[in-house]
């Protein structure tokens, strides 16, 4: 289990007052000249189309609503320039990965409301940990290349900035459901079957006095395209905002417990064009002396269960007309497990030896390691 806690502060610089003295002037009243410099807004994560020296693309809330159905966030971004996406499950729901300009996710900085989401240990991003987040987004900005210096060298590939909505426009209750149908086939025979289901409930209070509240609950069920690559993704997003004369405070809580079948092992190149073989989900495979593919097929017990709740408090303090202090206090944790095949393991590999207190341990068969 990993837990992370951080406080981020950003200051928007005020107007500056500069006094200059002319030493050649005879009169004191004529020797002082005042110049007012326009206020400068410092933004460290969001690029501006007119001033920022970086290539980027943006998706508005309308773009997201038009293009988003069930898919993982990387799949939603797959049509952007210099962006490649692949799905381990084969249908874009579960574990999906993105690369920008040839750099994988470990070299792409991902932020939600300015808060970093890359894992501190390996700098990877596990999009499955915040399923259906696209339903609650106001905008997405993808910067290509090194971009703004504030991201650091780990963001050499680019950055992805996700901004959630403020949900204050109007009162609403929305119920939605949908199904996805996939084509399967081989040897000249095709069939279609329902493999995806999604249900969601959204409630928005609109602005009530100085407050606004929003909640979304959803569930996505997917059988996956590859064998034993199911995904059951539960999602929640809860938000509350308070507006005062000088301060705006917003609290967001989001995440969702999930379970899915492991599907991270690739397939042999010779399987790609065969519509049946390319669905095979190996836990491991190799080539024998004759060059034939040998492997161990995933078992239905090879699954993952995980949850990573996110808590964040965003505050804007309008100190004056030209000075705004922004802060982001956040906390998130992870808890869960995954089970993988260990049918290859003997008592020595599993530590079931006399030296470890297991002198009479039987030889394991079809073991699973958690």
Q: Could you tell me how many residues make up the chain? A: 370
Q: Does the predicted model carry a pTM greater than 0.85?
A: no
Indicate if the pLDDT at residue 42 is higher than 50. Answer: no
Give the three-state DSSP class for 93: coil
What is the pLDDT, as a whole number, of residue 34?
52
* Buried-exposed string 326-353: b where 16+ CB fall within 10 A, e elsewhere: bebbbebebeeeeebbbeebeeeeeebe
Work out whether strand 108-112 and strand 158-164 pair parallel, antiparallel, or are unpaired. parallel
Q: Per-residue pLDDT tens for 245-303?
A: 899 999 999 999 999 999 999 999 999 988 889 999 999 999 999 999 999 999 999 99
Q: Choose among 156, 150, 140, 144: nearest CA to 56.
A: 144
Q: Per-residue pLDDT tens for 107-121?
A: 999 999 989 898 888
- Please state which of the ranges 58-72, 147-161, 342-356 shows the lowest mean pLDDT: 147-161
Q: State the pLDDT confidence band at 156, using cuts at 50, 70 and 90.
A: confident
> What value does the mean pLDDT of the chain take?
84
3-state secondary structure 210-223: CEEEEEEEEEEEEC
The answer for 366, left when phi > 0, alpha when psi is -120 to 50, beta otherwise, is: left
What is the pLDDT, as a whole number, of residue 185?
74
Contacts of 48 (CB under 8 A, 6+ apart): none
Contacts of 333 (CB under 8 A, 6+ apart): 1, 2, 3, 4, 308, 309
Q: Choose among 130, 334, 132, 303: nearest CA to 221.
A: 132
Indicate if the pLDDT at residue 28 is higher than 50. Answer: no
Averaged pLDDT for residues 9-36: 43
Averaged pLDDT for residues 202-211: 90
Q: Are 197 and 181 in contact (CB under 8 A)?
A: no
Averaged pLDDT for residues 89-114: 92
């Amino acid at each position: 289990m990993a837990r992370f806690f951080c406080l981020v502060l950003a200051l928007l610089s005020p107007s500056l007052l500069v006094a200059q003295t002319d030493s050649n002037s005879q009169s004191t009243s004529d020797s002082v000249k005042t110049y007012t410099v326009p206020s400068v807004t410092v933004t460290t994560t969001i690029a501006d189309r007119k001033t920022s020296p970086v290539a980027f693309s943006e998706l508005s809330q309308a773009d997201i609503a038009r293009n988003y159905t069930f898919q993982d966030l990387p799949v939603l971004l797959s049509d952007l320039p210099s962006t490649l996406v692949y799905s381990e499950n084969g249908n874009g729901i579960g574990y999906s990965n993105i690369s920008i300009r040839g750099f994988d996710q470990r070299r792409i900085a991902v932020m939600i409301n300015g808060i970093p989401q890359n894992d501190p240990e390996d700098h990877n991003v596990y999009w499955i940990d915040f399923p259906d987040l696209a339903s609650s987004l106001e905008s997405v900005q993808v910067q290509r290349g090194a971009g703004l210096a504030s991201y650091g060298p780990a963001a050499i590939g680019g950055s992805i900035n996700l901004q959630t909505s403020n949900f204050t426009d109007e009162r609403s209750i929305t119920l939605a459901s949908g199904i996805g149908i996939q084509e399967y086939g081989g040897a000249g025979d095709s069939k279609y079957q329902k493999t995806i289901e999604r249900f969601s409930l959204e409630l928005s209070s609109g602005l009530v006095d100085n407050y606004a509240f929003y909640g979304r609950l959803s569930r996505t069920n997917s059988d996956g395209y590859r064998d034993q690559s199911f995904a059951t993704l539960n999602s929640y997003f809860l938000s509350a905002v308070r507006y005062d004369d000088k301060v705006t405070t917003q609290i967001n809580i989001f995440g969702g417990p999930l379970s899915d079948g492991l599907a991270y092992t690739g397939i042999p190149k010779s399987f790609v064009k065969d519509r049946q073989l390319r669905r095979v989900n190996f836990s491991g495979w190799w080539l024998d002396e004759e060059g034939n593919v040998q492997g161990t097929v995933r078992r239905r017990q090879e699954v993952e269960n995980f949850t990573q709740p996110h808590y964040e408090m965003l505050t804007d303090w309008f100190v004056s007309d030209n000075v705004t202090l922004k802060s982001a206090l956040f906390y998130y944790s992870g808890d869960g497990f995954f089970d993988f095949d260990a049918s290859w393991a003997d008592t020595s590999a599993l530590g079931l030896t006399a030296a470890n207190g297991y002198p009479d341990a039987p030889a394991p068969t079809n073991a699973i390691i958690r």
